Amino acid sequence: MTDVTSPTDLVPAPRAVRGPTRPGVELTPGTTLWAGPGTETTERWLRSTLGPALGLPLLPGPEDAPGGLRLRIDGTLAPEAYRLAVAADRGIEITGGGAAGVFWGAQTLRQLLGPDAFRRAPVRPGRTRDIPHRTIEDAPRLRWRGLMLDVARHFMPKDGVLRYLDLMAAHKLNVLHFHLTDDQGWRIEIQRYPRLTEVGSWRARTKVGHRASPLWDDKPHGGHYTQDDIREIVAYAAERHISVVPEIDVPGHSQAAIAAYPELGNSDVVDTASLTVWDTWGINPNVLAPTDNTLRFYEGVLEEVLDLFPADAGPFSPFVHIGGDECVKDQWRASDTAQKQLGNLGLADEEALQSWFVGHFDRWLTARGRRLIGWDEILEGGLAPGAAVSSWRGYAAGVTAARAGHDVVMCPEQQVYLDHRQDAGPDEPVPIGYVRTLEDVYRFEPVPAELTPEETARVLGTQANVWTEVMEDQGRVDYQTFPRLAALAEVAWSDLPAPADRDFAGFERRMEAHYRRLDALGVAYRPPTGPLPWQRRPGVLGRPIDGPPPHR
């Protein structure tokens, strides 16, 4: 009895599938695994993940073993490209242009083996799996295929982060943008400044729903990652060819840090010693003081961050995200200290003062062989050539950045903010922002049409952003993220036509098979028919809107 998936049911869709439909290779407990030089990460993953799911030991064997599984690198292919060939006389061969390409080929093999391959132990012992004779040739469209995970608003324990790295790998996503600090919590241990986690990692209570909601959860909320937790997360990601890009938010979104170290705030304007970690949502007026002391403090933070997130852990590991968005300047306008700094620097206004702040860390990171990336507000006032931009307020900033010679990650909130509601129906839990359905995400186009070919090369790729103000646990994160992340993964990976010409009906058909994979992985996704009774949140006020929403 066999249980395999058709090559036409893959998500994301591959570029080319060729070959007749006839028996190819039968996987059995005797199937051997040969791994050529440079394919060790995939070899380990196959034995630790795919093998246990199907009860296959995948013992080492010779390269020419009949019916065996072989991994090899062919430098004539692009680094993330792969070729998966199945033939009765050759067995199964995964060839990649680099180690990452081999790994993505193994992810495709897993999908071909059916939903049981996504479990942690065999559920149908003895079932054979005859993979038909096929050759799949594939390569990603975009280099940066990411997920921004906000663990500051609601903390996600380490095991949850590792689980999301596995979910990303299953969808051929390769960048985790790790949002570690904000007004509502500081989540990374900094040994030089222990109060950042002693004080800044927890809040006394939490607003339930939108900030206008009258509801509160009076249970303290908190948590943080130790430095060894971070090292583990980065290493686990690297084994799956995922780069982790940390975000340390400055100069706004910083009340948790100010609560821990009041001297970081504008203490001549507000009693910073009385501030606590923020317990509600929105744009916070308490921002960092634009002083040399603040710069020195965050240099100390970033020195430890650079050690924890080494530049050689993945192709995008040199990047460090510094936020830079939604910095309200009211306190700077009222602060004698800020105004003196502005005058000493010969700057025109408070906007230029933020540009000075961002520019300092741009130069500081560049001097250490790293690259700054920030939300699109950092464009205001000019950027050094090596800085990159996360374009969140729409397409315009991404176009501006690309034309100015900056690399861009397209993540406009109007399309790929997954905290936004998936349907206009009354049962949708905590309705936030725009209605963005699975089809809307599938028709998202990350590369602005008005760019020239040279400017288009500046678009590194795209990512979905998962802000967690109204996602208090793993089930809520799953519900908002899936299945829409599967659509974003196909947009980023597959060579799709223009949005209006995309075959969404075909994608929905392929998702029928993919839902079974998500079920096997235990993902609490939104069903196509709407939320299940326990996924609803009756009575919790959201933020339904028609026009452009505020960020976060």
- Residues tagged active-site: 182, 253, 326
CA angle, 315 then 317 then 321, to 5°: 130
Q: Which residue has the tokens 């993964």?
A: 489
Other CB atoms within 10 Å distance of the CB of residue 219: 8
Nearest to 189 by CA among 228, 243, 149: 228
* Residues in Cβ contact with 343 at an 8 Å cutoff, skipping those fewer than 6 apart: none
CB environment 238-254: b (16+ within 10 A), e (fewer): bbbbbbbbbbbbbbbbb
Query: What H or E segment, with its residue span, contains residue 459?
Result: strand 459-466
The pair phi, psi for residue 189, each rounded to 5°, is -65, 125
Integer Cα distance of 391 and 319 in angstroms: 15
Q: 413 by DSSP, 3-state: which?
A: helix
Task: State the angle between helix axes of 484-493 and 504-521 in degrees (0 to 180), rounded to the nearest 10.
Answer: 120
Q: Which two tokens stand for residue 509?
A: 């058909």
Using H for helix, E for strand and C for coil, what is the string for 46-77? HHHHHHHHHCCCCEECCCCCCCCEEEEECCCC
Other CB atoms within 10 Å distance of the CB of residue 304: 17
Q: What is the DSSP letter of 499?
A: G
The alpha helices in 113-226, defined as continuous H runs, are 158-170, 195-198
Integer Cα distance of 452 and 390 in angstroms: 19
Integer Cα distance of 476 and 461 in angstroms: 26
Integer Cα distance of 493 and 417 in angstroms: 19
DSSP track, 224-256: -B-HHHHHHHHHHHHHTT-EEEEEEEESSS-HH
Q: Which two tokens stand for residue 338?
A: 């800020």
Q: Which two tokens stand for residue 133?
A: 């004779």
